[in-house]
Amino acid sequence: MGTDIGSLFTALSQRAPKENLAVFIGRIGGRFMDNTKYLFRHCVQTEQPFSSVFLTHHADDYDMLRDAGLPCLMFPSEEAIAMLPRAKAVVCDDFWWRMETPARFLLSGAQILQLWHGIPLKLIGMPEAESAVSMDAEKRQMLRAGYSGYDAVVSTSPFVTGTGLGRAFACDEIWETGYPRNDMLFRTPDAIDMLGVDREAYDAMERFRGAGFKTVFYMPTFRDTGGDAFENGALDLERLDIFCRRQKIAFFFKFHPYVDVPVPRHLKAVHSVQFNSDAYPLLAQTDCLLTDYSSVAYDFLLTGRPVVFFPYDLEKYLACDRAMFYRYEDMSPGPRPVNEPELFEALFRVCKGGEDPWREERNALCAKLFSACDGHAAGRVARLMRSRFFAGGA
């Protein structure tokens, strides 16, 4: 849609009377996952002085939400075009929608709450725009626009605000409430929690745990230059499967939502989780997290369970993909194997030997990253939404 449609939609937004309506927009075209999902769940299940609706561009997500009886909109339906201009607030955890969909023009009169999708280890936002790593003029301009213009951004602690998110975003306020998605780590999932989850993987994880297996969940970060541990030869799927079967380890992996890696069907202990699904119900029953530079490591600290870090390409990552806010060694409280034999040894020690010499270091970092570790982050965000965005809130 071109400039004429943009101008028309902007005019619709400016003329429309605003209602106590919050529009929730998920990542990757509006998938039902991550922080927007869990804050939306809280808002529709509790009494609020505003209505909530989830906006998606995916027909399968729309059908799933509609069938569950949840308020949702499919863009660019007539219903969406009529309703979006009336919204007082937009809730998001990414900024793709501000770049890629004409829905942004219809929402131009709304206040924006940016939940974001993780405590940043790697540079994001304004510091990333000033970095020379994997940067050009077009990307720099996109970053400056994408990380600007927010009425509020959610953080998890004063430390994270001061060293990371407060530097990354240009915003009016920062709310140190914690992330709604982490509430899932403190409870048994309900029907809404399970929407958008890879149910086959979830059920398999439950079966393996019931049979006495230890569960390892590998969630590496996205690399700007592409590639992954399997493609780059750092891990071999066949050898990994043999190791895990011998040690009674059920190994699940889910790459970044933009990356999909299929698993050969004959493998028995290695399982792929749908790349565009919500991982948090699976994390809640994971015995050991395996990652590299992903913020999921910091969420998982809330469980008290071990994390193994696999920085097989750290030098290349720092030189070609992304610089970091912090020294990696200060933010990786766990074993740090850099090749396959070292990784198998670390997983054996953690999963079979029960070794956990990093517990105190994990707990200390968790206390620094999270002001509250109680499973009630969504409630804190909703209270601030009421008082900042909607009349009659307390």
pLDDT of residue 259: 57
pLDDT of residue 379: 98
SS3 call for 355:
coil
Residue 45 and residue 48: Cα distance in Å, rounded?
9
Q: Given the structure tokens 């990552």, which residue do they identify?
A: 317
Residue 19, H or E segment: strand 19-25
Q: Considering the domain 3-183+375-389 in this protein, what is its CATH number?
A: 3.40.50.11820
The domain 199-369 is placed in CATH, from the list 3.40.50.360, 3.40.50.12580, 3.40.50.300, 3.40.50.2300, at: 3.40.50.12580
Residue 391 and residue 389: Cα distance in Å, rounded?
7
CA distances from 46 to 43, 186, 322, 382 (A): 5, 18, 40, 10
pLDDT of residue 391: 73
pLDDT, mean over the chain: 95
CA-wise closest residue to 82 among 93, 70, 94, 74: 74
Angle at 379 (CA atoms; ends 377, 384), nearest 5 degrees:
100
pLDDT of residue 393: 45
pLDDT of residue 1: 46
Q: Which residues of the chain have pLDDT under 70?
A: 1-3, 256-262, 392-394
Q: Compute the half-sphere exposure of residue 104: CA atoms within 13 Å on the CB side of its CA.
A: 17
pLDDT of residue 73: 99
- Residue 52's contacts (CB-CB under 8 Å, 6 or more residues apart) are 21, 22, 24, 40, 43, 44, 71
At 147-164, the pLDDT tens digits run: 999 999 999 999 999 999
At 321-347, the pLDDT tens digits run: 999 999 999 999 999 999 999 999 999
* Orientation of helix 237-247 relative to helix 340-351, angle to 10°: 20
Beta strands in 57-148 (DSSP E): 72-74, 87-92, 111-114
Residue 215, H or E segment: strand 214-218
Domain locations in the chain? Answer: 3-183+375-389, 199-369
Q: Are strands 150-155 and 111-114 parallel, antiparallel or unpaired?
A: parallel
- Residue 5's contacts (CB-CB under 8 Å, 6 or more residues apart) are 102, 105
pLDDT of residue 231: 83
At 59-94, the pLDDT tens digits run: 999 999 999 999 999 999 999 999 999 999 999 999
